[in-house]
Structure 1
Amino acid sequence: MNDNMNPILYQNRELSWLKFNLRVLEQACDGSIPLLERLKFLSIFGSNLDEFFMIRVGTLTDASLLDPDAIDNKSLMSPAEQLEAIFADTRALIEKKDAAYKRLSADMAGEGIEHLDLSMLTEEQTVFLENYFRGEILPMLSPQIIDKHHPFPFLRNKETYICTQLKTKGEFVKLAIIPVSTGFDRIVYLPFDKNKFVLLEELVLRYCEHIFQGYVVVAKTIFRVTRNADINVDEAMYDHDMDYRSVMEEMVKNRRKLMPVRIEFQGEASEAIIDQLCKKLELTRDRVFFNLSPLDMGFGFALCSKMERRGLPGLFYPPLTPQDSSLVTPGRPMIPQIEDHDILLSYPFESMKPFISLLLEAADDPTVLSIKMTLYRVARESQIVSALIKAAENGKEVHVVVELRARFDEENNIIWSKRLEEAGVNVVYGLGEYKVHSKLLVITRRVEEKICFITQIGTGNYNESTARLYTDLCLMTADREFGEDGTRIFNGILTGNPVGDTKYLVAAPVSMKPMVLRFIEQEIIAAREGRPAAITVKINSLTDKDVIDKLIEASMAGVKIRMIIRGICCLRVGVPGHTDNIEVVSIVGRFLEHSRIYVFGTPERSRMYISSADFMTRNMERRVEVAAPIRDEKLKARIMNLLDLEFSDNVKAKRLLSDGEYEPVKNDKPPIDSQIDLFKLAYMRAEESARVRASRPVQPVMRPAQPQAAPAAPAAPRRGLWDKIRALFHK
């Protein structure tokens, strides 16, 4: 399709990601969101941008040096052109971030939470902060002057520094650098008003003249450096005669030393300071960024935690508790329930406890022969890993694939892999060049000399913490064919040979992309034959050009395509004659949209899958991913209701336009915040299930040797469902 080479049909991946982070930033500006939750969004925006520069800008920087003529296959931009566009968009984002923090600071001050301006202190505040600096901070500082005897120090990634320009009586000028990130509490609260604070770097900047005796400080500034963190693990393997985990440990250390890709200043900086730092760091001026607000917004989380402990409920979201699934009977073993019917959990609306109970049960069940599981990101204090260790200690055969290349979770995974090995678990580290990103568990049992399976497939990580923050799906089934397919996938990982000969489960890198392209083609055929044709997809990112081109072809054939894409979307929609049958919506709200769902076909003939894979080339071709068909019609209907509700969202949803920008979804319908409505639905289902269980007669347990117990006092009447929900959601 030569028409598909028209650049207006595509959007650059990196610029699309920056638009996603803008949508995160816009949450920090949304007055309908509780005040300190908005501060959290600003902190998330900052950490997102840091990681983007460390990975994506780092990768493009390498490419601009090693292969400068390479072009992006969608936007046709070279690495240098992409970097130029990224830097321009980033400067615009920083301006919006500064404005957002200025508004937030004013709003917080109105609530008595004040980030003090050090140029406008009262006498009492000045005395305390100067004494605090002299007594608590100054003795701990390690300033370094830069001259012939003191070489330029190594500046650690994302750490905050003060740079000063000093003059002696002999008129010699030199630089000095003061690290301010290590060994200190960053937020300094005033003792006589604990809701007022300053940041450590601001305090050191204010009083740094006290540090340099015999010098005059002629200029000073706050700055930090961002370094490339994109290390090629495969290349590292060729240079080391050591095991894979040792290579990863070395890689994590080396990441801290890679070349700088960005330098940021807070407030003003003299030309001499900028020139000297750029020269020492080998950075060009286009990589220099100026902020009016704090460079590291991570303090927002610590501030929010402090205020939450002090009891300021009106400044936070009302608490929501993951509910018991209506598909699970509390108190009953999980394995018999899964054998009776497939169980689907929807996080964070429903609790992860049934899945954890399954693992704990399997660890003790004498019929369980083996447990095979993939781990990509796990919690710091993981009940899931503890259950696997317990199973191994109970003599079960436990095989765990720990992906050590889970970006920025490498250290945590290295620690857990050691713990697992010490407990007798067989641990493997991925599948060669393929990163294992799948969420797959297979429990093999022998019951009355017959082999049977419990299989779980998920869209998100086995992480109790993120299960309360990310929207994900977890399918648990006793379907034998799923278990056999899962066993084949694990055997492929354990033997270093990715498989594609599965019957129902679909696995990347072999069969997933062909499956997606094949099912899109089937909808194209249906549309060309005059039959209704539809595709509904929910993913985090769409970047794979083959899939994009097939979707364009489907749109041109008349297939109605709806997609919920939280982040990157490299496809332009609404282009007449090409993509005018494609709708893309992004939802950024209280929870991180993370589940992946593919639906091919109209309702009466649809094929539905849940998956760990986005429509990205890396997921389809360079990772081990798993997709599972939803065969239970009730579960299919439940997932379709979820999708329809998200497409009806007119509070948090934004629609992608043909120019690549996003606009809020606005209409005359009643407000629908899909995430909150899904939580309401979970509360309603849990309440209804509890009511039904309570209404069932309980068979008395006969104990002939003991007198019959007196009847229990009647239970207190349950609060009305809607009263409960209204109180919880302030409706």
Structure 2
Amino acid sequence: MSVDKELFVNRELSWLEFNQRVLDEAADAYVPLMERLKFLAITASNLDEFFMVRIGSLQTAIRNNRPAVDACGLTAKQQLNAVVERVHRMVARMYDIYLSELEPALKELGMRRRSVTSLTPQQSDYLSQLFDEQMAAILTPIAVHDPDEFPLLSGRTINVAVQLAPADGEEGFRFAVVPFGQSDLRFISLPGEGDHEYVLGEDVVELLGQRFFSGEEVVSCAPFRVTRNADLSVREDDGTDLLSEMEDVLEERKDSFCVRLEVSHSVTTPTLSFLKQLLKVREEDIHVVPGPAGLKDMMEVASASVDSRYSYPAWEATSTGGFEPGVSVFETIRNGDQLLYHPYDSFEPVVRLIEEAAVDPDVLAIKQTLYRTSRRSPIVNALMLAAENGKNVTVMVELKARFDEARNIAWARQLELAGVQVIYGVRGLKTHAKACVVVRRETNGFRRYCHFGTGNYNESTAGLYTDVSYMTANADLGHDIIAWFNATTGYSQLQQFRQLHTAPVSLRDRLLALIEFETQQARSGLDAGISAKVNSLVDPDVIEALYTASRAGVKIRLNVRGICCLRPGVSGLSENISVTSVIDRFLEHARLFHFTHGGDNQVLLSSADLMPRNLDRRVELLVPILDDDCRRQVIRILELCHSDTAKGRRILEDGTFAAPKDPESGIRSQLEFQARATARHKAQEDARRTTFTPLGPQ
């Protein structure tokens, strides 16, 4: 790996630029008000995870004296210093947007956060009764006698630090903490006429908290919130039970070290000193905020609005591509490959594939990966039904899917009880591939029906993320995916596939070979081009290959939602590379590639982003789109994403970005995809009304 700050943008700083793009949506006056509040909450939630994983990782490296540097040549300490400074500026902007723009606008709509000093008599009486009957019963004040022996405070929940006057005959202040834990007392609706007014639970504790401490003088109260390190891993080389080990990791997260303290600006100097000692937090990891701590919780306020004028119009995908009601999924796929672009096309055909397979007497086996699923997953239920119906069902459940570990553990146990053969991923690697194959007995022998995706088998997120589903009965792909499952679930070595490429074995090599082909084409004076859409671009080998292709004259257009360590538009290095990042209503999540390949277009989808972790430490798939119509569909998707001038930000050579060219009336790719899907559905409905299907004898 090259180490050169002239070649690469620091990964952490690039991620913060991505989060700034999300925050810019919260500041955009063209975005509906409730959506702006949601984007603010998403920015805060993203930042929570950044602290838990990335800041936690850097602090762990410093604690362990790891000397390694990143691709820019920065040590962990240097990266942390740069990141902390940038984060503090971002947090200041977040509160400026919330307090100066969003909260006044919400107030005009009648959604008002009340200060406890401006309550009506009716509201004061209501809160007094609520405190005595509910809050005092649910919340528990805990006196702090020795910070080293204080009970654990949960991460990302609200607490109130209470400063008490010194005891008789003593000089030092005393302290207590009131943890809110997982209670639903954060937002308390107030009685009133017409308007929706509410007060924060921590403000109520500040107002009435004296009742917790009868006979004592409460000097001050300060709400605060803790974020803990979540960069913990499980050992897989000592023969221990993986499921048990993952449960231990979840427990370890609860008491890992503090990476951030958010505390109200009302905090007194003695209370802040107490919290620093209690949580053992560094000065630079303290964020004294001028508004409510934990802005991610504002998602609850945004979701409470019932006035659709201040949200994006509801979108429910009605287009099902080539899948017709009443026609078997197997028949449709058998008649031709199908490509769906979610959430514009419905995820329902993917669910139907598993549901039909579960009850079809000719289906013999189902093999599937599960990375992140929904709480009430119809796909998991169908897999259990299939096993109960005597099908041979094998599911690879990735227990190490960060922040979904507990849900995956629960699903794994339920699947096992239903008779499903559950495999907990691959030792030492994370299984991130999205694939399913149904083996069906037909007149001409066994046929394999495949689904390959860029997103998870999760019908909930399929309505929020942009992802591609490719459904095919191609014999080569069917052969390859069976061989892939058998190799990853057993001890066999991965053989060379006919069409598929998998990480960590051959996926990077295949991508580099495709880039090299375009490079050689350009050097020979022939047409060459690369178009790609990914979430993140970090891998130094891939970036250097793209630089080489650019210098050879290859025109490269990239759509990168998140981290981009490549520097586009640098003379003599990357002047032929342009990078656009689209941030809009739906989370851009698809990974798509198009190489012109001398006129023989190579079009592929992948579960992998272009990051070392995906290419070296995860089990991923790179899948060629073999059907001409489906190829053209992917190329059209890429073209429109590159053309976005309303929500597309151009990434600059220093890693920052330029604002959209025409945010008010420019091309907005997501709206255009919605319009195309609506037109497809209307055309399908019109065709059904004018097509007569004769019924034969029963």
- TM-score w.r.t. the length of structure 2 is 0.96
Change (3 A) 1:667 1:504: same
Separation (CA, whole Å) in 2 of partners of 1:652 and 1:149: 49
Corresponding residue number in structure 1 for 2:37: 39
Corresponding residue number in structure 2 for 1:488: 483
**Equivalent AA in structure 1 for residue 181 of structure 2:** S
Separation (CA, whole Å) in 1 of partners of 2:3 and 2:184: 54
Counterparts of 1:268-279 in structure 2, within 5 Å, are 268-279=266-277
Greater Cα offset, 166-175 or 554-563: 166-175
**Equivalent in 97, 105, 122 of residue 94 of structure 2:** 97
Separation (CA, whole Å) in 2 of partners of 1:289 and 1:150: 23
Separation (CA, whole Å) in 2 of partners of 1:315 and 1:134: 36
Structure 1 residue 86 corresponds to structure 2 residue 87: no
Q: Are the counterparts in 1 of residues 321 and 340 from structure 2 also a CA contact under 8 Å? A: no
Corresponding residue number in structure 2 for 1:720: none
Change (3 A) 1:497 1:576: farther
Separation (CA, whole Å) in 1 of partners of 2:668 and 2:143: 55
Counterparts of 1:404-423 in structure 2, within 5 Å, are 404-423=399-418
Q: Are the counterparts in 1 of residues 517 and 597 from structure 2 also a CA contact under 8 Å? A: no
Counterparts of 1:48-127 in structure 2, within 5 Å, are 48-72=46-70, 74-102=71-99, 103-127=101-125
User: Helix, strand or coil for the counterpart of 2:326?
Assistant: coil
User: Helix, strand or coil for the counterpart of 1:579?
Assistant: coil
Q: Are the counterparts in 1 of residues 321 and 338 from structure 2 also a CA contact under 8 Å? A: no
Corresponding residue number in structure 2 for 1:585: 580
Separation (CA, whole Å) in 1 of partners of 2:362 and 2:129: 68
**Equivalent in 564, 569, 572 of residue 574 of structure 1:** 569
Counterparts of 1:97-246 in structure 2, within 5 Å, are 97-102=94-99, 103-147=101-145, 151-167=149-165, 168-170=167-169, 171-193=171-193, 195-234=196-235, 238=238, 242-246=240-244
Q: Are the counterparts in 2 of residues 498 and 510 from structure 1 also a CA contact under 8 Å? A: no
Separation (CA, whole Å) in 2 of partners of 1:494 and 1:184: 42
User: Helix, strand or coil for the counterpart of 1:7?
Assistant: coil
Identity over aligned residues, as a percent? 38
User: Helix, strand or coil for the counterpart of 1:255?
Assistant: helix
- TM-score w.r.t. the length of structure 1 is 0.92
> How far 1:644 sits from its partner (Å)?
1.0
> How far 1:669 sits from its partner (Å)?
11
Greater Cα offset, 159-168 or 495-504: 495-504
Structure 1 residue 610 corresponds to structure 2 residue 605: yes
Corresponding residue number in structure 2 for 1:544: 539
Instruction: Structure 2 unaligned segments of length 5 or more: list them.
Output: none
> How far 1:344 sits from its partner (Å)?
0.7
Corresponding residue number in structure 2 for 1:393: 388
1:365-384 Cα deviation digits (max 9, x unpaired): 22222110000001110110
Greater Cα offset, 124-133 or 466-475: 124-133
Separation (CA, whole Å) in 2 of partners of 1:354 and 1:336: 12
Greater Cα offset, 153-162 or 56-65: 153-162
Instruction: Structure 1 unaligned segments of length 5 or more: list them.
Output: 704-731
Change (3 A) 1:667 1:162: closer
**Equivalent AA in structure 1 for residue 134 of structure 2:** E
Q: Are the counterparts in 1 of residues 647 and 663 from structure 2 also a CA contact under 8 Å? A: no
User: Helix, strand or coil for the counterpart of 1:233?
Assistant: coil
Structure 1 residue 674 corresponds to structure 2 residue 669: yes
> How far 1:254 sits from its partner (Å)?
1.7
Q: Are the counterparts in 1 of residues 122 and 191 from structure 2 also a CA contact under 8 Å? A: no
Change (3 A) 1:149 1:568: closer
Separation (CA, whole Å) in 2 of partners of 1:419 and 1:543: 37
Structure 1 residue 8 corresponds to structure 2 residue 6: yes
**Equivalent AA in structure 2 for residue 256 of structure 1:** K
> How far 1:50 sits from its partner (Å)?
0.6
1:596-631 Cα deviation digits (max 9, x unpaired): 001112683221101101101111111111121112
**Equivalent AA in structure 1 for residue 461 of structure 2:** T
Separation (CA, whole Å) in 2 of partners of 1:612 and 1:149: 46
**Equivalent in 641, 651, 662 of residue 646 of structure 2:** 651
User: Helix, strand or coil for the counterpart of 2:214?
Assistant: coil
Separation (CA, whole Å) in 1 of partners of 2:374 and 2:493: 27
> How far 1:489 sits from its partner (Å)?
0.7
> How far 1:148 sits from its partner (Å)?
5.5
Change (3 A) 1:658 1:183: closer
Greater Cα offset, 510-519 or 5-14: 5-14
Change (3 A) 1:148 1:560: closer
Q: Are the counterparts in 1 of residues 35 and 310 from structure 2 also a CA contact under 8 Å? A: yes
> How far 1:271 sits from its partner (Å)?
2.2
Corresponding residue number in structure 2 for 1:706: none
Q: Are the counterparts in 2 of residues 498 and 509 from structure 1 also a CA contact under 8 Å? A: no
Corresponding residue number in structure 2 for 1:707: none
Separation (CA, whole Å) in 1 of partners of 2:147 and 2:447: 72
Corresponding residue number in structure 1 for 2:509: 514
Change (3 A) 1:587 1:603: farther
Q: Are the counterparts in 2 of residues 600 and 608 from structure 1 also a CA contact under 8 Å? A: yes
Separation (CA, whole Å) in 2 of partners of 1:697 and 1:130: 69
Separation (CA, whole Å) in 2 of partners of 1:483 and 1:635: 17
Change (3 A) 1:165 1:341: same
**Equivalent AA in structure 1 for residue 523 of structure 2:** R
Counterparts of 1:622-633 in structure 2, within 5 Å, are 622-633=617-628
Separation (CA, whole Å) in 2 of partners of 1:149 and 1:644: 58
Separation (CA, whole Å) in 2 of partners of 1:664 and 1:539: 20
> How far 1:184 sits from its partner (Å)?
3.8
**Equivalent AA in structure 1 for residue 354 of structure 2:** L
Separation (CA, whole Å) in 2 of partners of 1:219 and 1:670: 51
Separation (CA, whole Å) in 1 of partners of 2:632 and 2:225: 51
Change (3 A) 1:669 1:62: closer
Separation (CA, whole Å) in 1 of partners of 2:455 and 2:253: 26
Q: Are the counterparts in 2 of residues 527 and 557 from structure 1 also a CA contact under 8 Å? A: yes
> How far 1:404 sits from its partner (Å)?
0.4
Q: Are the counterparts in 2 of residues 346 and 472 from structure 1 also a CA contact under 8 Å? A: yes
Greater Cα offset, 446-455 or 539-548: 446-455
Q: Which stretches of structure 1, 4 residues or longer, exceed 6 Å deviation after superposition?
A: none
Change (3 A) 1:136 1:518: same
Q: Are the counterparts in 2 of residues 9 and 573 from structure 1 also a CA contact under 8 Å? A: no
> How far 1:571 sits from its partner (Å)?
0.9
> How far 1:446 sits from its partner (Å)?
2.5
Separation (CA, whole Å) in 2 of partners of 1:415 and 1:70: 38
> How far 1:149 sits from its partner (Å)?
11
> How far 1:361 sits from its partner (Å)?
1.4
Greater Cα offset, 413-422 or 157-166: 157-166
**Equivalent in 523, 526, 529 of residue 528 of structure 1:** 523
Q: Are the counterparts in 2 of residues 205 and 220 from structure 1 also a CA contact under 8 Å? A: yes
Q: Are the counterparts in 1 of residues 154 and 181 from structure 2 also a CA contact under 8 Å? A: no
User: Helix, strand or coil for the counterpart of 2:118?
Assistant: coil
Separation (CA, whole Å) in 1 of partners of 2:621 and 2:453: 9
Q: Are the counterparts in 2 of residues 188 and 199 from structure 1 also a CA contact under 8 Å? A: yes
Q: Are the counterparts in 2 of residues 68 and 80 from structure 1 also a CA contact under 8 Å? A: no
Change (3 A) 1:148 1:13: closer
Q: CA RMSD in A?
A: 2.0
